[in-house]
Amino acid sequence: MKAVILAAGKGSRLSPMTLLKPKPLLKINGKTILENMIKCLKNGGIKDITVVTGYKNEMFNPYKKKLGFKKVISKDFETTNSANSLKLVIDNLDTDTLIMNGDLYIKNDFIRYIRKNVSQFIAQHLEKTNHPTWQYYIDENNKLIGINENSMGGLCETGIAYIAQKDLKIIKQELKKLSDKVYWEYIIQKSFKKMDFYITEVKGLIYEIDSFNDAINHNLLTSDDIAKQCSDNNRAVRLAGLTNYNYRIKFMGHDKVIRIPGLGTEAFVDRPAERKITSVIPSSICPKTEFFDWDVKITDYLKGYHSITDEDLNTKFFNSFIKTLTILHSVKLKNNKGFKPMSMHSEIDKYEKLANKKITTETQRKYILSIADEIERDKQVLCHRDLLYGNIMYNGKDVKLIDFEYSGFSSKYWDLANFICESNVNDEQRLEFIKLYKGADEKMVRKSQLLVNYLWTYWGIVNNSIEYEESHKKGLMKNLEILKVK
């Protein structure tokens, strides 16, 4: 038996990792996907292995000798699909052959399940897939009778087919007729009446690494793995972050920060809105940012800047920070680019339901809801809404903001109150900061602080961040007392 591994594609869904190397050369559990596949094949007695490469094909050279495979190069990998890759080795198809996609992580031997002399797809039953896949329909004898190309679950493809020698003539004939721009598997759809094709089901043995969701959901890659493999030198320095995993890396020769979303954060973070908003923030107040699949984000590392600390809380910093906030709050969007002002009531309702817990009396809650009304009636401007120390970068002169994942259109009072609630400003510094923002009303800032404390206390509960919950609950009780709300 022979094996052909189709590994010519760019693997764009796994960018930025695949900007540095082809997907089959990404590592899982310390070993490349390709090494793991070939080890499985050789353990199953298959020695004659051909790998069809394309994208960054030269990076396969060190593995060619080490793993002992034949290498074929597809020069048209950017404009063609797997049908073209298989055509490149058509003359070598002369005996039983395994055809495999090059992005498969194989946990255990599947070769022992293959029915010899019977052409078949290897399949697994999946409850729900992350993206559309091929679902197979079979009769009582496991004979393939139909294919749903856009299924999200069922008896699904694994990216492995076994072609019996007796069927190779038909496969070759149909392959020659097939467009270079489609998957080679379309041959089978065209050949139901010419040959019998079967399905062999396995369980939990094969995982197609087609996206970050595939890798993360099957516990094959951690955030550390992703960050390191996005780095030129396989090094990643963990940075602070509550919602996400942040790392400093060297990427394409430049110092960058990579953000990998925390699992489940899509329940309360509007990632598509973050992309749109970041695209319109002036470069004078926000570093250059690039987004990838699964909302992985790479941002320029701000050399010479640091996350602010208590020592930075002085008049010079306040002036610089207010200047940055004023620029942010002045951003004009043509027709708001589809953005709607953020509903404070919706935010409150969302977090209260997620937490399923009461933190105030009903009278206090009604007062907080009345503040939400005032915030919504105020002029709506583009706000950051998450002004933690770690999101405010300062070089002693200028202030830039990072991480706009909670940003949206709200009142300027949200940002002013949010910063005060997240910082350790004393009463004197608080008043100085407010006075520097033209037209700001001190009492409205205080009321907004109450709203910020209320929402972020719930955020802490939802995210099981006890320290964050307690910090904002303390501020909540203090501001309720100052405003004499019982």
Token representation of residue 118: 């019977």
Alpha-carbon distance 59 to 167, whole Å?
A: 34
The pLDDT score that the predictor gives to residue 337 is: 58
- Helix or strand holding residue 322 (H, E): helix 315-329
**pLDDT of 47 higher than 70:** yes
Answer whether 211's CB lies under 8 Å from 129's CB.
no
Alpha carbon distances (Å) from 337 to 5, 234, 276, 279, 346: 45, 39, 8, 11, 21
Are the beta carbons of 146 and 137 closer than 8 angstroms?
yes
Contact 440, 411 (CB under 8 A): no
Tens of pLDDT, residues 98-140: 999 999 999 999 999 999 999 999 999 999 888 899 999 999 9
Residue 417 structure tokens: 């109150």
Q: Cβ of 151: how many Cβ atoms within 10 Å? A: 18
- pTM for the predicted model, two decimal places: 0.89
| Nearest of 201, 114, 206 to residue 159 by alpha carbon | 206
> Which residues, including other chains, have CB under 8 Å from residue 30's CB and lie 6 or more apart?
none
Do residues 43 and 245 touch, judged by C-beta distance below 8 A? no
All domains of the chain in start order, with CATH: 2-217 (3.90.550.10), 224-482 (3.90.1200.10)
For the chain, the average pLDDT equals 95
Residue 284, exposed/middle/buried by CB under 10 A (0-12, 13-18, 19+)?
exposed
The pLDDT score that the predictor gives to residue 335 is 60
Provide the pLDDT confidence category of residue 325 given band limits of 50, 70 and 90.
very high
What pLDDT, on a 0 to 100 scale, did the predictor assign at position 338? Answer: 58
The owner of tokens 């960054």 is: 56
Look at 198 and 336; give whichever has higher pLDDT.
198
Res. 334 pLDDT band, cuts 50 70 90:
low
Would you state the pLDDT for residue 228?
Answer: 97
* pLDDT above 90: percentage of residues in the chain: 90
**Residue type present at position 169:** K
pLDDT tens digit sequence for 5-45: 999 999 999 999 999 999 999 999 999 999 999 999 999 99
- Strand partners of residue 176: none
* Whole-number pLDDT of residue 414: 97
For helices 466-482 and 442-462, what crossing angle results, to 10°? Answer: 150
Distance CA 468, CA 44 (A): 53
336 pLDDT tier (thresholds 50, 70, 90):
low
> For the segment 379-411, what is each residue's pLDDT rounded down to a tens digit?
999 999 999 999 999 999 999 999 999 999 999
d(CA 6, CA 2): 13
Q: By three-state DSSP, how is residue 122 classified? A: strand
User: What distance in Å separates the CA atoms of residue 172 and residue 178, rounded to the nearest whole number?
Assistant: 10
- 141-166 tens-digit pLDDT: 999 999 999 999 999 999 999 999 99
Degrees to nearest 5, angle at CA 131 with 4 and 134: 50
Are the C-beta atoms of 377 and 413 separated by less than 8 Å?
A: no
Which of 187-191, 249-253, 265-269 tops mean pLDDT? 249-253
